[in-house]
Amino acid sequence: MKSLVWFRNDLRMDDNPALRAACSKSEEVHGVYIYSENQLKLHNEANCKIEFMIQNLKSLEQSLNKLNIPLTVISSNGFNEDAKKILNIMNERSIKEIYWNKQFGTDEESRDIEVENILTNNNINCFLYDAQILFPAGTFKTGEGKPYSVFTPFKKRWIENFNIDLLDIEYNYIPKEKTKISSNINDFEFCFAKDHSVDMSLWPVGEEEALKRLDNYLDKKIFYYAKDRNEPIIDGTSRLSAYLALGIISPKRCILEALKKNNFELDSGEQGVTKWIDELVWREFYKNIMFSFPRVSKGRPFQEYTNKIKWRFDKGELKAWKSGNTGFPLIDAAMRQLKNEGWMHNRLRMVVAMFFTKNMLHDWRLGETFFMQNLIDGDFSSNNGGWQWSSSTGTDAAPYFRIFNPLTQSKNFDADGLFIKKYVDELKDIDEKEIHDPSNEIRSNCKYPTQILDLKESRLRAIDAFNEAKN
């Protein structure tokens, strides 16, 4: 028996249920990846993320090669061509079985339904798996039979239903029969034009590197996570998000290895471990939200009333925010971190998103898109969830009158100003008393911009706009 595995955002061997099933059942296995520059652009995938994806695809090809599984990369103009492309390759190679892991997002789901229909009509068997989250999306319902829209009760159900058998992921691959087909990845024209300035040495390529990163993180840092996770200058979080977003590592592997450090306890024992697993459950929560409330995947807010908010639009403010020149040092340091690293610390994501949607009163969708276009870990559901939380338009969102003050956040979470100094070169010699809100004289001497807005006034303006939309 011959089979085809369709790789999408699951660029790994470890805990890859589609690959595992194909390898268990078939003597000959082929892999395929559909590359569409158009589609990636349409979904605002960051240039650095595309580069990272291509490099990881090459790394995956080498691992598959050791098992005699050739990987064929096919180009396409977009999701609408995928069904035809898959059918063609299966017909050409006389393959009658295909395996893939499910993706989230309405476009992806519609594409998969179309592919499955066309293949089934052509007598091809399709086998679909859940590889991105522990429980299939939509598993948990409230007492009224509705999907959860608040994190804490969702997490409670998640923990109640957790069973260690869910993490039965160990599997030894045995090389398959050799095929006449060879991988084409080294000749494939990705037509990738680099236009980012991210330091890619921060993101070593490949599944082995991802597993090593997990291992290193779990060795020590995880035990301090509950305390260290809020201070951006501390390297206290795992930075595994880029690998999780492309499926280079699996959430099950992360949870299993973390549990081993905590006597397999999910909600007691080491606080750092339980807190870290909590964050992985947030990731699952947002994927469930996207699945159960497809409107959030179509640019609509979860809280419908917020559609009526009269967002402002100021080209100058937008430019200052994007380039890290708002005159608020912590905001600027965060935006420059994003540009240099393709990544931003979680607390700062909340701070800059709240500043954007509340103080600047700009539409959260603009910020969401800018993040997707720049994050190496861009993940549609987590990004959408994070933006909707910060702008108080989403599930379980921050109440609209709760607006982080970026100066207070700066003093609380970057007390010595070390994070600001690292990213805002103009302020590197300013002492910790002045650095959070430098005087006009310092700003002028250091050529650092004045503030683009007044915090008090802009806060009241935001509350008025939300009140008006609500009533």
Ligand X SMILES: Cc1cc2nc3c(=O)[nH]c(=O)nc-3n(C[C@H](O)[C@H](O)[C@H](O)COP(=O)(O)OP(=O)(O)OC[C@H]3O[C@@H](n4cnc5c(N)ncnc54)[C@H](O)[C@@H]3O)c2cc1C
Q: How far is the CB of 91 from ligand X (least distance, A)?
A: 37
Residues within window 163-192 making contact with ligand X, judged by CB under 6 A: none
Nearer to ligand X, 287 or 436 (CB): 287
Per-residue x/- track, 210-229, ligand X (CB under 6 A): -------------------x
Q: Does 107 bind ligand X (CB under 6 A)?
A: no
282 included as an active-site residue: yes
Q: Does 46 bind ligand X (CB under 6 A)?
A: no
3-state secondary structure of 122: coil
Q: Does 382 bind ligand X (CB under 6 A)?
A: yes
| Identified catalytic residue from 6, 158, 321, 387 | 387
Q: Does 241 bind ligand X (CB under 6 A)?
A: yes
Per-residue x/- track, 271-310, ligand X (CB under 6 A): --------xx-xx--x------------------------
Q: Does 240 bind ligand X (CB under 6 A)?
A: yes
Nearer to ligand X, 2 or 283 (CB): 283
| Identified catalytic residue from 209, 257, 311, 412 | 311
Q: Does 233 bind ligand X (CB under 6 A)?
A: no
| Identified catalytic residue from 346, 405, 412, 432 | 346
- Binding part of the chain for ligand X, among 66-74, 91-99, 241-249, 402-410 by CB under 6 A, reads 241-249
Nearer to ligand X, 5 or 281 (CB): 281
- Binding part of the chain for ligand X, among 49-57, 205-213, 309-317, 372-380 by CB under 6 A, reads 372-380
158 included as an active-site residue: no
* Number of alpha carbons in the 13 Å side-chain half-sphere of residue 157: 18
364 included as an active-site residue: yes
Q: How far is the CB of 46 from ligand X (least distance, A)?
A: 9
Nearer to ligand X, 105 or 438 (CB): 105
Residues within window 333-352 making contact with ligand X, judged by CB under 6 A: 346, 349-350
The residue whose Cβ lies closest to ligand X is: 386
CA distance 53 to 59: 10
Among 56, 250, 390, 395, binds ligand X (CB under 6 A): 390
Could you write out the three-class secondary structure of the chain?
Answer: CEEEEEECCCCCCCCCHHHHHHHHHCCEEEEEEEECHHHHHHCCCCHHHHHHHHHHHHHHHHHHHHCCCCEEEEECCCHHHHHHHHHHHHHHCCCCEEEEECCCCHHHHHHHHHHHHHHHHCCCEEEEECCCCCCCCCCCECCCCCECCCHHHHHHHHHHHCCHHHHCCCCCCCCCCCCCCCCCCCCCCCCCCCCCCCCHHHCCCCHHHHHHHHHHHHHCHHHHHHHHCCCCCCCCCCCCHHHHHCCCCCHHHHHHHHHHCCCCCCCCCCHHHHHHHHHHHHHHHHHHHHHHCHHHHHCCCCCHHHHHCCCECCHHHHHHHHHCCCCCHHHHHHHHHHHHHCCCCHHHHHHHHHHHHHHCCECHHHHHHHHHHHCCCCCHHHHHHHHHHHCCCCCCCCCCCCCCCHHHHHHHHCCCCHHHHHHCHHHCCCCCCCCCCCCHHHHHHHCCCCCCCCHHHHHHHHHHHHHHHHC
389 included as an active-site residue: no
6 included as an active-site residue: no
Q: How far is the CB of 313 from ligand X (least distance, A)?
A: 19
279 included as an active-site residue: yes
Residue spans of beta strands (DSSP E) within 210-369: none
Q: Does 232 bind ligand X (CB under 6 A)?
A: no
Q: Does 378 bind ligand X (CB under 6 A)?
A: yes
Residues of the shown chain interacting with ligand X in the complex, contacts defined by CB under 6 A: 229, 237-241, 244-245, 279-280, 282-283, 286, 346, 349-350, 353, 371, 375, 377-379, 382-383, 386-387, 390
List, by residue number, the catalytic residues.
Answer: 279, 282, 311, 346, 364, 387
